[in-house]
Amino acid sequence: MQACVAVKYSMADYWNIAPGMENALKECFSRDAEADVTLEFSIPEKDFNNAGKGSSEVKNLLKRLGVDSEVLRRIAVASYEAEINVAAHSHGGEMTSLIYDDMIHIKFIDEGPGIADIAQAMVPGYSTADDLVREFGFGAGLGLPNIQKNSDALHISSAAGESTLLEFLVFFAQ
Amino acid sequence: MIRLTEYLPLIEGVNWTPALSPETVEIEGAYVCDMLSDVMGSAKPKQAWITIMKHLNVIAVASMTGIPVIVFSKNNVPDDAVIDKATEEGIVLVSSPLSSFDLAGILYKLLAK
Ligand SMILES: Nc1ncnc2c1ncn2[C@@H]1O[C@H](COP(=O)(O)OP(=O)(O)OP(=O)(O)O)[C@@H](O)[C@H]1O
Ligand SMILES: [Mg+2]
């Protein structure tokens, strides 16, 4: 992926988009066209045995559809990190995967408690993971950076005390 | 590049996923880490993952990252649910009495040959 610029539009919105693609990508986040396939999963709080199932199903489906293995790896990693974050840091939420013929758009919406400072949360190594989460091997503070690194566009919208929306796009053609 | 079957005897490795054939697994390197996100960010397909973590999530991490084999150091043994999941995902699980340092060192030497 090309070098990216981070653009902060407001306190509660964080975007990371490949340079020059802002408008094209924003259209994608709110596409009118119906997705070819829509998959929904719920992600319960702190349920680490089941967190990851949504990402795994999406990965299996895309594999059957013939998506390139490196693109598939990027989608799987970004999706799994986001799914684990909802389980680890929120009171639970929903994952919605919208699959089009040229790209995938995955949205995670949780029930709070929100991220007070998104820029700080994006810093590699920053983590508020509790002991349980760390026991499972999470809490390196690398999940959000991994999502950014592996997606073509990332949007996070949150604030303290609110729900968090995290959504990203990955195009199938490189 | 080596085959997993060349490595196993050197580390007293026990294969917990006999349904998968270790002779078909090719390894080009390894990643040694117990933090799952670091593995997902830095490990590459065809690398062995050397770790002491052995709960269900490591199978998902290996599967998402494209890791073909997990080597558990210091005699860490995965439980049946983990073995079943790994078998389903095609990820070979191996336990060894050696430390992560020794496991990496032996593999490094073998690859350098
Ligand atoms: N859905 C969320 N709701 C609330 N806070 C979140 C959410 N996702 C991330 N965060 C906050 O952002 C921080 C950084 O997230 P990131 O995924 O980068 O690291 P981590 O989850 O703590 O550790 P790792 O992902 O390496 O296992 C988290 O520790 C948490 O404070
Ligand atoms: Mg995380």
The answer on pLDDT for A138 being more than 50 is yes
Residue A21: what pLDDT?
Answer: 65
What does the pLDDT read at residue A19? 65
* Domain B2-112, CATH homologous superfamily name and number: HprK N-terminal domain-like (3.40.1390.20)
Question: Could you tell me the CA-to-CA distances from A36 to A29, A39, A74, B3 in Å, in that order?
Answer: 15, 10, 20, 41
Asked if residue A55 is part of any domain, the answer here is: yes
In B, which residues are within 8 Å of A139 by CB distance? 35
Whole-number percent of chain A with pLDDT over 70: 89
Residues with CB under 6 A from ligand 1: A 81, 85-86, 88-90, 110, 114-115, 121, 126-129, 138-144, 164; B 37
Among candidates A52, A73, A137 on the partner chain, residue whose Cβ is nearest the Cβ of B34: A137
The DSSP bridge partners found for residue B69 are: B48, B92
**Domain presence at residue A7:** no
Subunit contact B36:A77, Cβ cutoff 8 A: no
Smallest CA-to-CA distance from A42 within A138, A125, A108, A129 is with: A108
CB contact under 8 A, B60 and A137: no
Say if A92 is an interface residue toward chain B (CB within 8 Å).
Answer: no
Mean pLDDT rounded to a whole number for chain A: 90
Nearest CA in chain A to B42: A146
Residues near A36 by beta carbon (within 8 Å), at least 6 away in sequence: A99, A100, A101
pLDDT tens-place string over residues B28-53: 999 999 999 999 999 999 999 999 99
- B64·A77 Cβ contact <8 A: yes
Tell me: pLDDT of B21 over 60: yes
Would the pLDDT of B76 be above 60? yes
Those residues with Cβ within 8 angstroms of residue A5's Cβ, 6 or more apart along the chain or in another chain: A16, A17, A19
**Closest by Cα among A11, A137, A158 to A80:** A137
- The stretch A157-174 carries a mean pLDDT of 94
Residue type, A108: F
Provide the residue ranges of all domains of chain B, joining segments of one domain with +: 2-112
Mean pLDDT, residues A160-174: 94
In a domain, A2, yes or no: no
Cβ contact A99:A45 at 8 Å: no
pLDDT band at A3 (very low <50, low <70, confident <90, very high): very low
Dist CA A75 CA A39 (whole Å): 15
**Residue-wise pLDDT tens digits, A9-27:** 444 899 998 666 676 677 7
Q: Alpha-carbon distance B99 to B91, whole Å? A: 21
CB contact under 8 A, B66 and A69: yes
The pLDDT of residue A24 is 65
In a domain, A1, yes or no: no
Is A62 part of a structural domain of the chain? yes
pLDDT above 60: residue A2? no
B34 and chain A in contact, CB less than 8 A = yes
Q: Return the bridge partners of A96, or none.
A: A40, A107
Q: What is the pLDDT of residues A44-102, one digit of tens each?
A: 999 998 999 999 999 999 999 999 999 999 999 999 999 999 999 999 999 999 999 99
Q: What is the domain-level CATH number for residue A69? A: 3.30.565.10
CB atoms within 10 A of CB A166: 26
pLDDT at residue A7, rounded to an integer? 44
What residue numbers bound the domain in which A162 lies?
12-171
Mean pLDDT of the B1-20 span? 97
Q: CA B96, CA B107: separation in Å to the nearest integer? A: 13
Q: What is the pLDDT of residue A12?
A: 85
